[in-house]
């Protein structure tokens, strides 16, 4: 079932055995659903968007001043671009301390680093006039409070988190803890099953 904010609150009330507002107001249940969506989308990285960065001659740092979507980016999932000849290139993620430790003379962008605290992309080699205006495509995870952006299979986790908050208000701390632990166990399972998988080495795809 796909939930909206309204139907999620209705289902939450059913789980709490309070079909109309008595102990829990609609506004606080709505806020808990939104809090849950923010927490889920941040921890599970399950809401994905796509943005672009237009390269500028000699500029290697790109922030929200350059592209507004960077403000919402939690983690890039893939970075690629098409060069002037129409060839598609995927860029490699590196650590900031690895920048500049190769002898490449080719000005094409090869590496990127994203700082989630600064909300800043670093592109290397430093672009020059030969690739000025090249558009970098970024597939990235971002956080949201909109439950309609959460896939159906994850929406029940939103209700678990919201139930945890509701039980805290009741001072039913054991029940609250149970709901939170179940929520976190489900989050960890989904991450290990779908999102924390390592990349296969290229050698796995080579014909013997």
Dump pLDDT digits (tens) for 176-208. 999 999 999 999 988 876 665 555 454 454 544
Q: What is the pLDDT of residue 105?
A: 65
Whole-prediction pTM value?
Answer: 0.82
Give me the residue spans of the domains in the chain: 5-45+145-193, 48-142
Overall average pLDDT of the 65-78 stretch? 93
The pairs formed by 129-133 with CB atoms below 8 angstroms and a separation of 24 or more are 129/57, 131/55, 131/83, 131/107, 132/55, 132/56, 132/57, 133/54, 133/55
Distance CA 198, CA 191 (A): 12
Q: What is the pLDDT of residue 205?
A: 41
Contacting residues for 25 by C-beta, under 8 A, at least 6 apart: none
Distance CA 105, CA 124 (A): 11
Overall average pLDDT of the 90-103 stretch? 80
- SS3 of the chain: helix, strand, coil, percent, to 5: 40, 20, 40
Among the listed ranges 5-9, 70-74, 104-108, which one has the minimum average pLDDT value?
A: 104-108
Contacting residues for 170 by C-beta, under 8 A, at least 6 apart: 23, 176
Mean predicted lDDT score pLDDT of the chain = 88
Instruction: Answer with the residue of higher pLDDT: 208 or 127.
Output: 127
Question: Which residue(s) pair with 78 in the sheet?
Answer: 139
pLDDT tens-place string over residues 97-126? 877 777 666 678 889 999 989 999 999 888
Distance CA 38, CA 26 (A): 18
Q: What is the pLDDT of residue 104?
A: 66
Judging by beta carbons within 10 Å of its beta carbon (0-12, 13-18, 19+), is residue 126 exposed, middle or buried?
middle
Question: Which residue(s) pair with 138 in the sheet?
Answer: 51, 79
Query: Which of the four pLDDT bands, split at 50, 70 and 90, describes residue 43?
Result: very high
Instruction: Answer with the residue of higher pLDDT: 206 or 173.
Output: 173
Contacting residues for 98 by C-beta, under 8 A, at least 6 apart: 111
């Amino acid at each position: 079932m796909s939930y909206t904010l309204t139907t999620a609150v209705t289902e939450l009330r059913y789980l709490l055995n309070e079909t109309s507002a008595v102990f829990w107001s609609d506004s606080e249940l709505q806020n808990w659903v939104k809090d849950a969506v923010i927490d889920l989308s941040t921890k599970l990285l399950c809401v994905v968007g796509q943005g672009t960065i237009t390269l500028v001659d000699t500029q290697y740092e790109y922030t929200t001043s350059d592209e507004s979507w960077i403000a919402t980016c939690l983690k890039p999932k893939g970075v690629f671009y098409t060069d002037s000849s129409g060839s598609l290139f995927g860029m490699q993620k590196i650590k900031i301390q690895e920048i500049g430790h190769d002898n490449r003379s080719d000005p094409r962008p090869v590496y990127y680093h994203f700082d989630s605290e600064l909300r800043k992309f670093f592109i290397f080699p430093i672009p020059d006039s030969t690739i000025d205006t090249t558009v970098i495509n970024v597939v990235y995870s971002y956080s949201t409070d909109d439950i309609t952006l959460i896939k159906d299979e994850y929406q029940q986790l939103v209700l678990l988190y919201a139930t945890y908050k509701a039980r805290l208000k009741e001072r039913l701390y054991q029940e609250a803890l149970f709901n939170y632990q179940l929520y976190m166990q489900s989050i960890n399972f989904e991450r290990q099953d779908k999102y924390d998988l390592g990349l296969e080495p290229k050698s796995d795809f080579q014909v013997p």
